[in-house]
């Protein structure tokens, strides 16, 4: 099944608006900085390969990044 590339993560119901992969990574990174988070599972969409690569580079030294659907 073909899926269109992910261009935004819709968090408008939480008041965060629409975020790209860098915005989601920053949001999760803020949570890691504030709370004792040791692992993030599926922080981005299954088919967001470029975002996942940058996400892992940004957060991988701080927390365990798991992409079980990649």
- The range of the structural domain enclosing residue 49 comes to 9-66
Q: Decide if 47 is inside a domain.
A: yes
Beta-carbon count within 10 A of 43 CB: 24
pTM surpassing 0.95? no
pLDDT of 3 strictly over 70: no
Contact 52, 67 (CB under 8 A): yes
Element (H, E) at 39: strand 39-41
CA-closest candidate to residue 42, choices 32, 28, 31: 28
Split at pLDDT 50, 70, 90, the class of 14 is: very high
In the structure, what pLDDT confidence band is assigned to residue 41 with cuts at 50, 70 and 90?
Answer: very high
- Residue at 3 is within a domain: no
Mean pLDDT of 59-64: 96
Answer whether residue 60 is part of any domain: yes
Q: Do the domain assignments include residue 1? A: no
**How many distinct structural domains can be found in the chain?**
1
- Is 57 a member of any domain? yes
């Amino acid at each position: 099944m073909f899926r269109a590339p992910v261009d935004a993560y819709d968090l408008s119901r939480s008041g965060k608006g629409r975020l790209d992969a860098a915005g989601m990574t920053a949001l999760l990174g803020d949570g890691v900085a504030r709370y004792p988070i040791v692992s993030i599972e599926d922080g981005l969409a299954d088919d967001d390969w470029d975002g996942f690569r940058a996400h892992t580079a940004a957060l991988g030294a701080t927390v365990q990044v798991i992409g079980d659907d990649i």
